[in-house]
């Protein structure tokens, strides 16, 4: 059976096609201002990649912040459910999932079958999500990949309160003026977001193994900082930004 | 030169009637905030001069700048001031101040001076902080509540929006009221998200005025949420820079069903004024003791 999952995120839309419990295609596009069109386009790209035709897809499930806005979907499921299902497929030993997206972060506790036991979420606040990293990279005048790279070379701590992305931007600018190394500022930024996400995740029981998913999981500096703050190893699946879409596709086949 | 839309008008004032040399006491309050700094000079119990300027990269320089602007053309030198109290975010870093007092105490005292003994509730809308304060008829704080460190509802948040929309910040309030129907507010919890929402709304054909209206009402909503936790007793005043934004103030009034008592000469100097009054109290006390 062929099914598709579409994750309609705040920043990007992801589509995954699953055939007989195997991933056959993945596609991603910036959400932009027309999420329905973008979802359509992203799914079409995945269909092409899979070498199938649209009518071969038996069911389409959506997830993500805009999951209810897609008219051609058969059903929609919450991000938390999709995250647990997708992670369980990729990393079956994981019991605690941290998902950091562009505008939201979640901590999820799941059982051996990928069923959600408990979860916690951040309030709508950029300081605990991917949007924070992007704001800070603009303030540092570095691309995000470069900011991650130099962050690993940091040798000193830099003081950033960073409870608010808007204020942190001013803090970063004044740190640059006082001649603090950009590497140390970048490191402090990653540490700040990790610390904030971890205090949110601690509201649920943290059981091993722990996985980090969502687009921010590609940021190795944050993964490192999360390890430090949680005091456990952190697994990152391959292509972590597609986990929710994968979960939706798997649930559509169930 | 590119226009800096976030820049609000810096101002200063000097009394034409007072001869400071005849005063029994000459005291000063300096409020170094995260975004703006003020110096207020009191001669006896009257405001003699004040200024309101942008905070620079460090507190001592900002304090010096505020003090020298307010002393301009007065013939008064810093050493003529008998007691200086520092307040605000940078208060511990004001070298010429003999004492530092929290901005909560100072705002209450300053609001009490400008608004009179009937003032019971003060909302201070600063650059990075939002505070609800209750005080007694003497301007003494009885209770207060602060926001978490979050730009939503603060002056800095408004500056970000003014920059985004390329609207001079002093025009924001008036423009936000120039809409046919009041739109739904944007996200009131995070300025970063409100910014993305605003971009989306502009794309979908909203006018700048409508977006400003949606942002001002989100801000008012956020502030009222904080105020309701502490309760609002009449009379109610607003201090800080946002007090000058009619778009936010009128929406707060509407949501609370209560009028804001205006403060003169300037709601933004409440902290500095309160500090100058404390400086006078301390000076008189030390003279009595001597």
pLDDT band at B2 (very low <50, low <70, confident <90, very high): low
Does the pLDDT at position B87 exceed 60?
yes
Query: Which chain B residue is nearest to residue A166, measuring alpha carbons?
Result: B151
Asked if residues A109 and A96 have their Cβ atoms less than 8 Å apart, the reply is yes
Radius of gyration of chain B (CA): 19
* 3-state class (DSSP) for residue B34: coil
Q: How many C-alpha atoms does A118 have within 13 Å on its Cβ side?
A: 12
DSSP A194-248: HHHHHHHHTTS---SSEEEESGGGG-HHHHHHHHHHHTS-EE--SSGGGHHHHHH
- Residue B103 phi/psi, 5° resolution? -70, -20
Q: Of B149, B150, B200, which is closest to A33 when you measure between CB atoms?
A: B200
Residues in chain A with CB shorter than 8 Å from the CB of B187 are 124
Residue B245 binned pLDDT confidence (cut-offs 50, 70, 90): very high
3-state secondary structure of A1: coil
Question: Could you give the CA distance from residue A72 to residue A62 in angstroms, rounded to a whole number?
Answer: 10
- Give the residue from chain A lying closest to B199, CA to CA: A33
Q: How far apart are the first and last CA of chain A?
A: 10
Give the SS3 label for residue A120.
Answer: strand
Residues of B in contact with A33 (CB under 8 A): 200, 203-204
Under 8 Å CB-to-CB from A215, ≥6 apart: which residues? A11, A12, A100, A101, A102, A130, A240, A241
Q: What is the mean pLDDT of residues B207-233?
A: 94
ipTM of the complex: 0.78
Distant-in-sequence, close-in-space partners of A116: CB < 8 Å, separation ≥ 6: A80, A81, A84, A108, A109, A110
For residue A118, which of A108, A129, A133 has the smallest C-alpha distance?
A108
A123 touches chain B (CB under 8 A): yes
Separation between Cα atoms, residue B160 and residue A163, nearest integer Å: 17
- A167 contact residues in B (CB cutoff 8 A): 128, 149, 151, 156
| Contact between A220 and A207 (Cβ < 8 Å) | no
Q: What is the pLDDT of residues A1-28, one digit of tens each?
A: 999 999 999 889 999 999 999 999 999 9
Predicted local confidence at residue A162, as pLDDT: 66
The total number of residues shown for chain B amounts to: 290
pLDDT for residue B4: 85
B residues 15-74 lying closer than 8 A (beta carbon) to A: 57
Distance CA B69, CA B10 (A): 10
Asked whether the beta carbons of B269 and B52 are under 8 A apart, the reply is yes
Radius of gyration of chain A (CA): 18
Give chain A's residues under pLDDT 50: none
Residue B51: name the closest of B5, B80, B100, B10 by CA: B10
- pLDDT of amino acid A126: 86
The whole-angstrom separation of Cα B285 and Cα B290 is 9
Question: Between chains, do B187 and A166 touch, taking CB under 8 Å as contact?
Answer: no
pLDDT at B1 over 60: no
* Residue A137 with chain B: CB contacts under 8 Å: none
Three-state SS at A155? coil
Tell me which long-range contacts A225-228 makes (C-beta under 8 A, separation of at least 24).
A225/A190, A225/A191, A225/A193, A225/A194, A225/A195, A226/A98, A226/A194, A226/A197, A226/A198, A228/A191, A228/A194
What per-residue confidence (pLDDT) applies to B58? 84
CB spacing of A166 vs B156 below 8 angstroms = yes
Q: Chain A within 8 Å of B198 (Cβ-Cβ)?
A: no
Which H/E stretch holds residue A59? strand A59-63
Average pLDDT, chain B: 94
Q: Is B205 on the interface with A (CB under 8 A)?
A: no
Which residues of B are less than 8 Å from A132 in CB distance? 192
Are B273 and B50 contacting, i.e. CB atoms less than 8 angstroms apart? Answer: yes
> What distance in Å separates the CA atoms of residue A82 and residue B59, rounded to the nearest whole number?
50
**Interface with B, mutate which of A134, A160, A167, A200 (most B CBs under 10 A):** A167
Burial of B273 (0-12, 13-18, 19+ CB in 10 A): buried
Instruction: For residue B196, give how far its alpha carbon lies from the nearest alpha carbon of chain A (Å).
Output: 10
B189 touches A: beta carbon within 8 Å: yes
DSSP state, residue B260: P
Backbone angles phi, psi at B256, to 5 degrees: -85, -20
Measured between beta carbons, the chain A residues lying within 8 angstroms of B192 are 126, 131-132, 135, 165-166
Measured CA to CA, the distance from residue A22 to residue B226 in angstroms comes to 51
pLDDT (tens digit, 9 = 90+) per residue, B131-153?
A: 999 999 999 999 999 987 888 88
Element (H, E) at A63: strand A59-63
- How much is the average pLDDT of B201-214? 94
Q: Cβ B149–A125 below 8 Å, yes or no? A: no
Residues in chain A, how many? Answer: 254
Residue A119 dihedral angles phi and psi, to the nearest 5°: -155, 160
Reduced to 3 states (helix: H, G, I; strand: E, B; else coil), residue A57 is coil
Whether the CB of B181 is below 8 Å from some CB of chain A: the reply is: no
Q: Which of A124, A132, A167 sits opposite B149 (nearest CB)?
A: A167
- The phi and psi torsions of B42 (rounded to 5 degrees) equal -110, 135
Chain A residue nearest residue B129, CA to CA: A167
Spatial distance between the Cα atoms of A172 and A36, rounded to a whole number of angstroms: 37
CA angle (A88, A91, A93) in 5-degree steps: 85
Inter-chain touch A170–B203, beta carbons under 8 Å: no
Which DSSP category does A103 fall into?
A: S
């Amino acid at each position: 059976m062929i099914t598709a999952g579409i994750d309609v995120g705040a920043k990007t839309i992801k589509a995954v096609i699953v055939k007989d419990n195997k991933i056959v295609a993945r596609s991603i596009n910036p959400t932009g201002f027309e999420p329905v069109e973008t979802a359509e386009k992203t799914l079409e790209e995945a269909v092409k990649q899979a070498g199938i035709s649209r009518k071969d897809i038996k069911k389409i499930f959506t997830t993500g912040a805009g999951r209810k806005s897609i008219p051609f979907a058969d059903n929609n499921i919450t991000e938390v459910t999709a995250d647990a299902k997708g992670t369980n497929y990729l990393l079956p030993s994981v019991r605690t999932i941290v998902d950091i997206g562009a505008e939201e972060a979640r901590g999820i506790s799941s059982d051996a079958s990928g069923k959600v036991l408990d979860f916690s979420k951040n309030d709508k606040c950029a300081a605990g999500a991917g949007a924070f990293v992007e704001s800070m990279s603009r303030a540092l005048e570095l691309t995000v990949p470069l900011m991650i790279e130099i962050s690993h070379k940091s040798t000193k701590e830099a003081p950033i309160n960073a409870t608010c992305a808007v204020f942190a931007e001013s803090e970063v600018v004044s740190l640059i003026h006082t001649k603090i190394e950009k590497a140390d500022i970048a490191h402090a930024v990653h540490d700040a977001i990790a610390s904030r996400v971890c205090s949110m995740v601690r509201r649920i029981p943290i059981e091993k193994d722990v996985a980090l998913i969502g687009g921010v999981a590609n940021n190795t500096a944050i993964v490192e900082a999360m390890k430090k703050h949680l005091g456990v190893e952190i697994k990152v699946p391959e292509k972590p930004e597609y986990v929710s879409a994968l979960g939706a596709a798997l649930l559509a086949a169930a | 030169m590119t226009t800096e839309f976030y820049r609000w008008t810096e101002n200063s004032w000097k009394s034409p009637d007072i001869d400071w040399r005849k005063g029994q006491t000459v005291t000063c309050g300096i409020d170094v905030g995260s975004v703006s700094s003020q110096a207020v000079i009191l001669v006896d119990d009257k405001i003699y001069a004040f200024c309101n300027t942008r905070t620079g990269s460090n507190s001592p320089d900002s304090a010096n700048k505020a003090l020298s602007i307010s002393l301009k053309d007065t013939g008064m030198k810093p050493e003529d001031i008998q007691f200086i109290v520092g307040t605000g975010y940078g208060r511990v870093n004001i070298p010429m101040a003999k004492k530092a007092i929290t901005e909560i105490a100072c705002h209450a005292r300053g609001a009490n001076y400008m608004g009179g003994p009937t003032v019971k509730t003060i909302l201070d809308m600063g650059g990075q902080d939002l505070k609800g304060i209750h005080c007694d008829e003497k301007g003494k704080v009885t209770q207060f509540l602060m926001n978490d460190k979050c730009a939503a509802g603060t002056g800095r948040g408004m500056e970000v929006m003014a920059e985004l929309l390329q609207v001079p910040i002093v025009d924001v309030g008036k423009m936000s009221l120039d809409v046919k129907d009041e739109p739904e507010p944007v996200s009131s919890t995070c300025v970063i998200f409100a910014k993305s929402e605003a971009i989306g709304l502009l794309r979908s054909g909203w006018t700048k005025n409508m977006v400003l209206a949606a942002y001002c009402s989100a801000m008012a909503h956020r502030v009222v949420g904080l105020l309701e936790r502490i309760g609002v007793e009449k009379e109610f005043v607003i201090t800080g820079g946002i007090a000058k934004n009619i778009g936010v103030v009128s929406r707060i009034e509407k949501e609370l069903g209560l009028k804001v008592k205006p403060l003169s000469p300037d709601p933004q100097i409440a902290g500095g004024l309160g500090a100058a009054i404390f400086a006078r109290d301390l000076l008189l006390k030390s003279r009595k003791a001597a």
